[in-house]
Amino acid sequence: MDHFKAKKIGGFFIFMAAFAGIGAIVMLLWNALIPGIIGWTAISYWQAIGLMLLSRLLLGGFGRFHGRFGGHFGHNALHDHHKRFHEMRDKMQTMSREEKKEYILRRMATCNPYNMEETQPQENNGEENKDNPSA
């Protein structure tokens, strides 16, 4: 038997032992907490394994088929966030102070869900606002 195949078989047995141990922990926690809190009945070991599989299916998915809340979504979103951050940092390093200020104000205006005018300062250079005499 080659080294790779032995590692694969060993990994499988470690996975099965961990899965069995986690199933026992789920059963013990359920039986210690749920009957006293909610009043439901205690569960067996196999019901705890089934509960783990069901929760993994609904929340985490299996392999390449991910559920709604699990899988690699968080990893990819985090990677994209870091990528955008580094791109923006590189872009802003080449800007002058005034260009940075304008860029930030433009970004704030586009991110504002209410499109309020406070994020876009009006420069009137001491002139009166002819459209709005109260200003």
Tokens of 67: 């559920």
Q: Report CA dihedral (20, 22, 27, 30) to the nearest 10 degrees.
A: -170
> What local confidence, expressed as pLDDT, does residue 62 receive?
58
Over the stretch 55-99, which tens digit does the pLDDT of each residue have?
888 887 655 444 444 444 455 656 676 787 788 788 888 888 898
CA 50 to chain centre: 26
Instruction: Give me the chain's average pLDDT, please.
Output: 76
Phi and psi torsions of 112, nearest 5°: -75, 115
pLDDT of residue 125: 54
d(CA 4, CA 134): 80
